[in-house]
């Protein structure tokens, strides 16, 4: 029904994820009871972790494939600011909220911040790059941020988990810096480049001898994703980061631009299918009483995160930033506020929560963080789902089209 009605739905202030969420609630324990991750009071976090893990790695690869920009600081300046400045600001601010207002210790508060700080590359398709020729700065910033911060929130998740197990930070802080911060990030970048280039090289050699079946060719994208992710995890690197880098590498490795475009279309279809399943699962695990029990805490986090921390953090992070595709000396204020508004939370946060369940988060702290996370994601799906279409139409009409009508002289570097 969603597929057949997608032409109408796309014109409405309504996201596909919102529809899936409602159906998931109907399939859960309050209606038909067809999806049950919680039996006899025990929640099956492992199933949620594996499904969300698969969705995220496919989605971040898709983000990488969409981006066609020179790998230079000047053209990736907005991404660098959103990752280097905004994400730590978000995590720290949420941690302070958790410590001061939610009664958490610092380990629990930092873990909450790390779980909720990443924006979602899966549910944000309406505000991301539409194709490989799209160079819009707002869409580029949100796409590259979503592709990277789902990987680079991991060090802070590990920090929170270490702090939960041992509140004497001196016992593990140096190891966290060396392994979880420096080694894992470096390994993710290197493996993303090496594995992707190796697969492309092997494919080109074999294709010269005998062409692969056209129906099977696009599955090379899935092979690249799974091999890159698994090999990177084997050397204790961040697989999410490696897969995003692999997407960038694959996009630049073919002389025929139709090749990565075909892979992108195939990956996007798989991503859409997995999005359905993930949001159905989210809807099915929602329970009214726990959501009410933590309702005031969740409401505080939602208001502060979506309406204050994210917008103000973006404004601070983009001070003095000059847009690449415009004559303006600084970002248009409307663009800055829209980047701040579209901090969509979703599948990435679900994955980190499920991962934390399996690695030391338990008891009352687990319940508190879980229901705050679920409620925040639901609020984001509803609020951003309703606002994405009208706000992006306003942006295209009032900001993007004016920039396209007056391109700077240096636009040739993108051609």
pLDDT of residue 329: 59
pLDDT mean over 210-214: 71
Q: What band does 126 get if pLDDT is binned at 50, 70 and 90? A: confident
Q: Does 287 have pLDDT greater than 50?
A: yes
Q: Which residue has the higher pLDDT, 409 or 204?
A: 204
User: Taking Cα atoms as reference points, which of 113, 107, 123, 61 lies closest to residue 87?
Assistant: 113
Phi-psi region of 236 (alpha: psi -120 to 50; beta: other; left: phi over 0): left
Specify whether the CB–CB gap between 155 and 176 falls below 8 A: yes
Least confident stretch, 193-202, 211-220, 231-240 = 211-220
Helices in 318-400 by DSSP H: which ranges? Answer: 333-341, 347-357, 363-395
Instruction: Tell me what pLDDT residue 66 has.
Output: 87
Return the pLDDT at 413: 45
Say what the pLDDT of residue 409 is. 45
Distance of CA 360 to the CA centre of its chain: 23
What are the structural domains, with CATH classification, of the chain?
Answer: 14-402 (1.20.1530.20)
CA–CA separation, 84 and 155 (whole Å): 13
pLDDT tens figures, 146-192: 889 888 899 999 999 999 999 899 999 999 999 999 999 999 999 99
17 versus 211: which is more confidently predicted? 17
Q: How far is CA 269 from the centre of its chain?
A: 17
Mean pLDDT for the chain overall: 87
pLDDT at 52: 92
Across the range 330-334, mean pLDDT stands at: 79
pLDDT at 325 over 70: no
Q: Nearest CA to 229 among 221, 238, 220?
A: 238
Enumerate the β-bridge partners of residue 38.
Answer: 43
DSSP β-bridge partners for residue 43: 38
Tokens of 335: 């663009």
pLDDT in the model for residue 244: 95
Whether the pLDDT of residue 279 is over 60: the answer is yes
Q: What is the pLDDT of residue 188?
A: 96
Tell me the β-bridge partners of 42.
Answer: 39
Maximum pairwise Cα distance, the chain: 65
pLDDT at 327 over 70: no
**Measuring CA to CA, which residue among 263, 251, 257, 314 is closest to residue 71?**
251
Q: Facing residues of 39 across strands? A: 42
Of 111-120, 205-214, 270-279, least confident by mean pLDDT is 205-214
Whether residue 258 has pLDDT greater than 80 = no
**What are the φ and ψ backbone dihedral angles of 43, each rounded to 5 degrees?**
-95, 130
**Listed range (135-139, 220-224, 290-294) with the worst mean pLDDT:** 135-139
> Tokens for 70?
């020179």
Q: What is the pLDDT of residue 115?
A: 96
Exposure string for 2-21, b = 16+ CB within 10 A, e = fewer: eeeeeeebeeeeebbbbbbb
pLDDT at res. 222: 92
Checking if the pLDDT of 412 tops 60, the result is no
Nearest to 69, CA basis, from 252, 268, 253: 252
Average pLDDT over residues 334-354: 92
Q: How confident is the model at residue 333 (pLDDT cuts 50, 70, 90)?
A: confident
Label residues 70-96 b or e (16+ Cβ within 10 Å = b).
eeeeebbbbbebbbebbbbbbbbbbbb
The reported pLDDT for the residue numbered 410 is 45
Residue 391 pLDDT > 80, yes or no? Answer: yes
Of 265, 316, 297, 260, the residue nearest 88 (C-alpha)? 316
pLDDT at res. 216: 74
pLDDT confidence bin for 374, thresholds 50/70/90:
very high
């Amino acid at each position: 029904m969603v597929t057949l009605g997608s032409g109408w739905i796309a014109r409405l202030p309504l996201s596909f994820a919102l529809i899936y969420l409602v159906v998931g609630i109907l399939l859960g324990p309050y209606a038909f009871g067809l999806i049950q991750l919680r039996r006899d009071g025990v929640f099956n976090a492992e199933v949620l972790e594996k499904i969300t893990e698969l969705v995220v790695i496919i989605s971040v690869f898709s983000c990488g494939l969409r981006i066609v920009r020179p790998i230079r600081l000047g053209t990736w300046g907005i991404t660098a600011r959103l990752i280097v400045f905004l994400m730590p600001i978000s995590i720290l601010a949420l941690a302070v909220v958790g410590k001061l207002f939610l009664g958490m210790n610092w380990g629990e508060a930092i873990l909450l911040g790390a779980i909720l700080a990443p924006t979602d590359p899966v549910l944000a398709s309406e505000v991301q790059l539409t194709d490989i020729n799209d160079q819009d700065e707002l869409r580029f910033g949100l796409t590259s941020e979503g592709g990277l911060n789902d990987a680079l929130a991991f060090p802070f998740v590990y920090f929170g988990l270490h702090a939960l197990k041992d509140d004497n930070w001196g016992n593990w802080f140096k190891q966290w810096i060396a392994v979880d911060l420096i080694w894992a990030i470096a390994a993710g970048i290197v493996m993303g480049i090496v594995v992707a280039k190796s697969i492309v090289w092997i494919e080109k050699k074999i294709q010269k001898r005998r062409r692969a079946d056209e129906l099977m060719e696009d599955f090379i994208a899935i092979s690249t994703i799974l091999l890159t992710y698994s090999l990177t995890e084997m050397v204790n690197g961040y697989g999410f980061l490696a897969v995003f880098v692999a997407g960038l590498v694959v996009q630049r490795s073919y002389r025929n631009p139709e090749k990565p475009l075909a892979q992108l279309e195939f990956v996007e279809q798989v991503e859409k299918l997995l999005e359905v399943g993930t949001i159905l699962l989210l809807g099915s695990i929602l329970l009214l009483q726990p959501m009410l029990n933590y309702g005031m805490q969740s409401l505080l986090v939602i208001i502060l995160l979506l309406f204050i921390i994210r917008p103000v953090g973006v404004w601070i992070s983009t001070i003095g930033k000059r847009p690449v595709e415009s004559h303006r000396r600084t970002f248009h204020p409307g663009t800055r506020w829209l980047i701040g508004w579209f901090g969509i939370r979703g599948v990435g946060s679900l994955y980190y929560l499920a991962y934390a369940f399996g690695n030391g988060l338990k008891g009352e702290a687990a319940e508190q963080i879980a229901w705050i996370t679920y409620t925040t994601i639901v609020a984001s799906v509803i609020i951003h789902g309703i606002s994405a279409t009208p706000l992006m139409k306003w942006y295209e009409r009032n900001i993007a089209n004016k920039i396209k009508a007056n391109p700077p002289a240096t636009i040739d570097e993108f051609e």
